[in-house]
């Protein structure tokens, strides 16, 4: 799957279910491993990122069984039951694995090393290392503040009251997970509300977590009790279909069983503000997480100034939102999204360059982008080893004059296994070539 080639397509239709939520899949393995008893998980995302977390805990002595598609059984070892790994914990391209594991491992009595692929070892880790050091962790990285992360075991950590300088669910989760091993109350105050899957799942495992305004707190020294988890479809994966159906004339699709956690629905809010025809059907709560079926019909989108309060709630979906903006009538402006520059790639620069290549008037700014919607001509673009860049330009090809070729698309398996097969069934005119 080295290359995607997408050409103009007729209407998209059908009813689909996208792979399981990556954020919830990661956390189900982490907390299930630390729980007492056996945790059953269905809908687990069997993609490279989530499997990296699973393999890391197997390396630390946790018995995790995989049976049937998306079915996982975790035999928890308790809060103090992890064993020292015999080798470095390699987590591939998964920033979530590395940052959250750094928090959990900071309070263990054994030494460990976290490493990843070339892309991950360029991503900033100082944002988690600094608060962990404040908690008494013996932890370090290379001189650039990037992986590998080396952790020396400590008996316990000290609680902190941490004011986060940026909105990041990964940083927040890292500190909270370290707080499980601190003697006292750990508090984290975030500048804006970010996804709260860690807090929700801790409660699901019976661990009290409090929120007052933007401050989240927990007491160390408790225990987790095994549970059952049904992982909903990932809204980040559903976003590609939502934009595809919105921009392709005559489309009408439904995406079943998608997680609509309020800290993750910024993509829906932004697309609705642009004039998208999106409706939520059969809303319900499963395992503490809001879930719905999402119906999307084609519409004429319009350019908007994206409200900054939506930025943290849609941070992973902006590459494909940029494609929606490229197809909208008028100008779309994004500000306050400098976090996009330190994802799997510099997503602001990567998308601006790629959009320019296929004929879109797009200008990168320090913290966002300005896009004047118009005609997508087509061309050859690079994924920059970023799964969301690859899939976003595959969507852009649906309404292109000459087709869009995206190079180096193997990375799509980190979050959306079976992408080509699923979107082909939806009506994409797409070919994958090795």
Of the candidates 184, 58, 170, which has an alpha carbon nearest to the alpha carbon of residue 125? 170
Q: Any residues with CB less than 8 A from the CB of 317 and at least 6 apart, and which?
A: 235, 236, 239, 266, 267, 388
Active site residue 316: yes
- Quick one: which H or E segment has residue 229? strand 228-230
β-bridge mates for residue 182, sequence order: 157
**CA atoms 342, 3, 414, 14: torsion sign:** positive
Rounded distance between C-alpha atoms, residue 382 and residue 176, angstroms: 37
Q: Of residues 316, 367, 385, 386, which has the active-site annotation?
A: 316
How far from 120 is each of 98, 124, 163, 382, CA to CA, in Å? 9, 9, 25, 18
Under 8 Å between Cβ of 354 and 383: no
Rounded distance between C-alpha atoms, residue 105 and residue 33, angstroms: 13
Per-residue burial over 224-259, b = 16 or more CB atoms within 10 Å of its CB, e = otherwise: bebbebbbbbbbbbbbbbbbbbbbbeebebbbbbbb
As annotated, the active-site residues are 316
């Amino acid at each position: 799957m080295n290359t995607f080639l997408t050409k103009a397509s007729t209407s998209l239709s059908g009813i689909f279910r996208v792979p399981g939520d990556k954020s919830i899949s990661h956390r189900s393995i982490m907390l299930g491993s630390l729980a007492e008893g056996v945790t059953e998980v269905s809908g687990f995302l069997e993609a490279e990122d989530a499997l990296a977390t699973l393999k890391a805990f197997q390396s630390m002595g946790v018995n995790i069984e995989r049976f049937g598609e998306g079915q996982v059984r975790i035999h928890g070892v308790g809060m103090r039951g992890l064993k020292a790994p015999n080798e470095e914990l390699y987590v591939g391209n998964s920033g979530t694995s590395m940052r959250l594991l750094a928090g959990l491992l900071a309070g263990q009595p054994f030494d460990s090393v976290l490493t990843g692929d070339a892309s991950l070892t360029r991503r900033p880790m100082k944002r988690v290392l600094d608060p962990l050091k404040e908690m008494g962790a013996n932890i370090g990285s290379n001189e650039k503040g990037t992986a590998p992360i080396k952790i020396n075991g400590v008996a316990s950590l000290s609680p902190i009251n941490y004011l986060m300088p940026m909105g990041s669910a990964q940083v927040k989760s890292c500190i909270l997970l370290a707080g499980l091993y601190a003697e006292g109350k750990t508090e984290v105050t975030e500048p804006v509300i970010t996804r709260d899957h860690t807090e929700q799942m801790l409660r699901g495992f019976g661990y009290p977590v409090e929120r007052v305004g933007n401050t989240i707190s927990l007491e160390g020294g408790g225990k987790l009790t095994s549970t059952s988890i049904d992982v909903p479809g990932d809204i980040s994966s559903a976003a590609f279909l939502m934009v595809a159906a919105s921009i392709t004339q005559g489309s009408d699709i439904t995406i079943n069983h998608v997680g609509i956690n309020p800290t993750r629905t910024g993509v829906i809010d932004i697309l609705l503000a642009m004039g998208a025809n999106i409706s939520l059907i059969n809303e319900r709560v499963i395992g503490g997480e809001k879930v719905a079926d999402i119906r999307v019909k084609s519409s004429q989108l319009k350019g908007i100034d994206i409200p900054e309060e939506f930025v943290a709630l849609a941070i992973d979906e902006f590459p494909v939102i940029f494609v929606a903006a490229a197809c909208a009538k008028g100008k779309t402006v994004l500000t306050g999204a400098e976090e996009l520059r330190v994802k799997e790639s510099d997503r602001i620069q990567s998308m601006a360059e790629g959009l320019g290549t296929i004929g879109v008037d797009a200008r990168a700014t320090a913290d966002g982008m300005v896009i004047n919607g118009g005609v997508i001509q087509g061309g050859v673009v690079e994924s920059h080893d970023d799964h969301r860049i690859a899939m976003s330009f595959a969507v852009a090809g649906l309404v292109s004059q000459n087709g869009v070729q995206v190079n180096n698309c193997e990375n799509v398996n980190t979050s959306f296994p079976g992408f080509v097969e699923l979107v082909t069934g939806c009506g994409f005119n797409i070919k994958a070539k090795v």
